[in-house]
Amino acid sequence: MRYATVRLLVALLLVLTLPARAASLIVDTATVEKALAAGALLWDARAANEYAEGHIPGAVNIGNAGSVFRDMNREDPPSAAVASRIFGEAGMDILGREVIVYTRKGDSYAYYAARMVEYYGGTHAKVYHGGLDDWKASGKPVDQSPVKLPPVKLALTAEMRGAMGNAELIERVKSGRAQIIDARTPKEFSGEDIRAVRGGHVPGAVPIPYEQNWQDPATASKLSSRQVSNRDGMALKSREDLKKLYAKLDPEKETVVYCQSGVRASETAAVLRDLGFKDVKVHEPSWLGYAGVLSAPAENEVFVNVGALNGMVSSLATRVRDLEAEVARLQAGKR
């Protein structure tokens, strides 16, 4: 009996001294319900018109997060002072309350919005990956009445928490101290699809498009071509399959994820954290900002042909004028 007691005490001691597994950043319907009951702040990060058509009861909305928290030209987040006003006026105490973000199933903007909470000094918000799609599929009610919270006074001072700038990434490239993931499309990675002053990729980056996190990575294109009628394929792969996807990476090593402007990278970064990667950062300027630093090293480097681009724009403008003239002619003939 004495030895059994000793063994029990040893086992209990081992359990108590094991490092606690971090709470998941990606949650399901049941977790959302429990969190709401406990007083969590639910953020619907979709556009205002989508929110008005129907949202999860209790969810607050401040417009499309991709527009509210990104500069139109540079696509960078606003200053902490501006963020303080945005969150404060909406009554969103991101420093004092647990925050859960949702949009539609698989939408990377939900992850971007969740990351903005950490960016300004809060605890990285959780993401309801299934979003409104899973909520409705579970038979849960939706509401059309806007939720207005009393304003709160916020004095956010932090910026770039959980993120990395150009100078840091360039240093990592030169030193080889970090593993880098490119979450863009294969054509963006190869330089065939140029969306900045130059195309290509960060030297040494591992190409893993963020859609590979989904059960069916082709779901977005299938939706646009009407091959499927729902977003079910955007559900995350199983934990085992996600581990296989990132099996060649070291969870103990600093990991930097980038895309075009930090949105798609936000989803991959959260997935990696959930898989147990210890130090994951999003390269905030991503390729748009990195490509603009012409001294920054790049592979598959291709510069934009400005002359050809201007020619394409001019040709499209001519076609639009011709179509407008044809429409006007047809309308005149009906009178």
> What is the Cα 326 distance to its own chain's centre?
42
Q: Domains for the chain: give ranges and CATH numbers.
A: 2-137 (3.40.250.10), 163-304 (3.40.250.10)
H or E stretch at 101: strand 99-102
pLDDT of residue 43: 98
Q: What is the maximum span of the chain, computed from C-alpha positions, in angstroms?
A: 102
Residue numbers of the chain with a pLDDT score lower than 50: 1, 3-21
pLDDT of residue 234: 98
- The 8-class DSSP code of residue 102 comes to E
Calpha distance 331→335 (Å, rounded):
7
| CA nearest to 64, candidates 47, 51, 81 | 47
pTM of the shown model: 0.87
pLDDT of residue 304: 75
Q: Are 268 and 257 in contact (CB under 8 A)?
A: yes
Tens of pLDDT, residues 192-238: 999 999 999 999 999 999 999 999 999 999 999 999 999 999 999 99
| CA nearest to 170, candidates 304, 292, 300 | 292
| CA nearest to 214, candidates 231, 230, 229, 236 | 236
pLDDT of residue 310: 63
Q: Are 286 and 309 in contact (CB under 8 A)?
A: no
Specify the long-range contacts of residues 106-110, CB closer than 8 Å, at least 24 apart. 106/131, 106/214, 106/219, 106/231, 106/234, 106/235, 106/236, 107/131, 107/234, 108/210, 108/263, 108/264, 108/266, 108/267, 109/45, 109/64, 109/65, 109/66, 109/263, 110/45, 110/65
pLDDT of residue 306: 55
Tens of pLDDT, residues 270-300: 999 999 999 999 999 999 999 999 999 999 9
Cα distances (Å, whole numbers) of residue 114 to 57, 103, 243, 267, 297: 19, 11, 23, 10, 31
